[in-house]
Amino acid sequence: MILVTGGAGFIGANFVLDWLALNDEPVINLDKLTYAGNLETLASLQGDARHVFIQGDIGDQSLLTRLLADHRPRAVIHFAAESHVDRSIQGADEFIQTNVVGTFRLLEAVRAHWASLPEAEKNAFRFLHVSTDEVYGSLAPDAPAFTENRAYEPNSPYSASKAASDHLVRAWHHTHGLPVLTTHCSNNYGPYHFPEKLIPLMIVNALAGKPLPVYGDGMQVRDWLYVKDHCSAIRRVLETGAPGETYNVGGWNEKPNIEIVHAICALLDELRPRADGASYATQITHVKDRPGHDRRYAVDARKLETELGWKPAETFETGIRKTVIWYLEHTEWVAHVQSGAYRQWVTSHYEVA
């Protein structure tokens, strides 16, 4: 059995769904159910004895201690995090509490659990910490992609909080011997993505006839990773990764944001044309850039490929088509996740340039 934190969020829920589709090992799923956690994503697992959902906070050490004692997982996969840069700029407190303090509480509970295990189980145990490429900072246009040896240079409250959590995980390995693994992923996209992030926001707004807000000139470059590929990479690292090691997970798909938006518009023009025959690209609206916006991220995932034999199955072209089709076919999920609070946040946040 494994314990997953943040398993009702975007990446965590995709991981849980894929895990149980591929094998019968049970999952204990701990999620606080903040605005981005959505049990509707896991509706297909209702009544499945292999999936035990517990609503709770990784900062609740007594709850963690009880869960670990009751279920004795062989591994903990730690997704739980506040993850939206824009929200961290507006208010960093929750990011510090969840990403830093919460990870500390989780590490302490897991360390006590691990220390109590019989030797064979102790040797096999793993704590896999899911992090981000944003801890590495911003790249110049012609600079080489981030490797695992890149110095940390976080530029937002979000990335700073994730960097802090990475350092805690590393310290618990080197000080206490906890068998940890850390992954740094690039920008994920795919099914069940909360529509505040770029790709789902563009799809949802386009279909609703709303402006497609693009920060600044739209030339911020990111490496795009299909979420199912990310999940397969995590499974591979959990299975064969070396304790104490860090692995970058990327899609080998560097693209500027404006190109992503045009690709989405072209797919929607093909799959769900506007009634007036115009392109969805006419809805693109450039808005004021956000403070400290990093210009480029790029992930060098060769270590994961050469040492563990993993590489992504999807190109950006195949992944984005699957993503757009998923949103077209799951309008009810989108409608349910769009609460009044979310709509108010988007309205207040995006200021037209």
Kindly tell me the number of DSSP H helices and DSSP E strands found in the chain: 14, 12
Q: Both tokens of residue 96?
A: 């510090």
Q: Both tokens of residue 29?
A: 């799923």
Alpha carbons 307 and 219: distance in angstroms, whole number: 33
192 as an active site residue: the answer is no
- State the maximum Cα–Cα separation within the chain, in Å, rounded to a whole number: 68
Amino acid at the residue 156 = S
* DSSP class per residue in 188-209: EESTT--TTSHHHHHHHHHHTT
134 as an active site residue: the answer is yes
25 as an active site residue: the answer is no
Q: How big is the CA angle at 239 (ends 234 and 243), to the nearest 5 degrees?
A: 90
Alpha carbons 25 and 18: distance in angstroms, whole number: 12
Dihedral, CA of residue 295, residue 202, residue 79 and residue 45, to nearest 10: -160
Which letter does DSSP use for residue 133 in this model?
G
β-strand 254-256 against 221-226: which pairing, if any? antiparallel
Catalytic residue among 31, 86, 133, 166: 133
Q: Where are the alpha helices (DSSP H) in 198-301?
A: 198-207, 227-240, 257-271
Per the CB < 8 A criterion, the answer to whether 126 and 181 are in contact is yes
Catalytic residue among 158, 189, 192, 327: 158
Q: Which residues are catalytic?
A: 133-134, 158
